[in-house]
Amino acid sequence: MELAVLEALTDTRVSGADRSLPVEELEAELGAMLPGASWRSLEEQGLVEHWGDRVQLVVDGRSTLDDARTGRPIEWAMHTLSQGEVLIGFAEHCREQLDDVDVVDEGPARLTLRCKREQSSLELRAGFLFCDRLPDSEPLLLLGELSEPVVERLLTDEGLRTTTAVYDLARLEKVNAVRSSVFVYFEWFLRDSYGVKLVPAGAFTQGLVDRGIISLGMG
């Protein structure tokens, strides 16, 4: 939970240039995405400060966050590795094996690729607080722990659902209603390099059926 809050405050797409959030807004988001969680322990540690009606980050947590995001362990049969190693491996695969994919930008927890005229990004996350604020005009694939609140948000937010996919590499489950050649290439890379396949999260598929967005025949 603490890393998820620090991540939200560190990310200027979420918290703005001053890296702060209204208290009520942060607590409402925690209630929706991490029921029972509180940001107060971060205040006790001196990592955030409560100023008026806002919670503000007072440390640079980026390196710690990158370590947590890239270091999340994954165990697949004969393979024991981390999310960061998978991201690095995919970047190398794109550079060396895919003539129609260019690496536009690469960092410890984010990879931006262009396939022909389409640009897409993959991003490691410690949590998914305020995940509806992350996407812009390009397809975004978030890699992290796929929980029920994340599935519910994607089901109820059509705009988010059509721009953002979430893959849980540890559980080998995905929520994806986004058209992106890069995401397809990523799944092929997982299959060919590690012999694993992602399957749609059952709750997401059932939710789409219940809402009449897809039929059982299309699932």
Print pLDDT tens along the chain (219 aa). 889 999 999 999 999 999 999 999 999 999 999 998 899 999 999 899 999 999 999 877 566 788 889 998 898 867 789 999 999 999 999 999 999 999 999 999 999 999 988 999 999 999 999 999 998 889 999 999 998 899 889 888 888 989 999 999 999 999 998 999 999 999 999 999 999 999 988 766 676 666 666 666 544
Give CATH 1.10.10 domain extents, the chain. Answer: 2-60
Out of 1.25.40, 1.10.1200, 2.60.120, 1.10.10, the CATH code matching 2-60 is 1.10.10
Cβ within 8 Å of residue 107, ≥6 positions away:
none
Per-residue pLDDT at 207: 64
Would you state the structure tokens that stand for residue 143, as one six-digit string?
A: 């890699």
Whole-structure pTM value: 0.89
Give the angle subtended at the CA of 151 by the CAs of 202 and 86, to the nearest 5°.
85
Q: In the 3-class helix/strand/coil scheme, how is 73-102 assigned residue by residue?
A: EEEECCEEEEHHHHHHHHHHHHHHHCCCEE
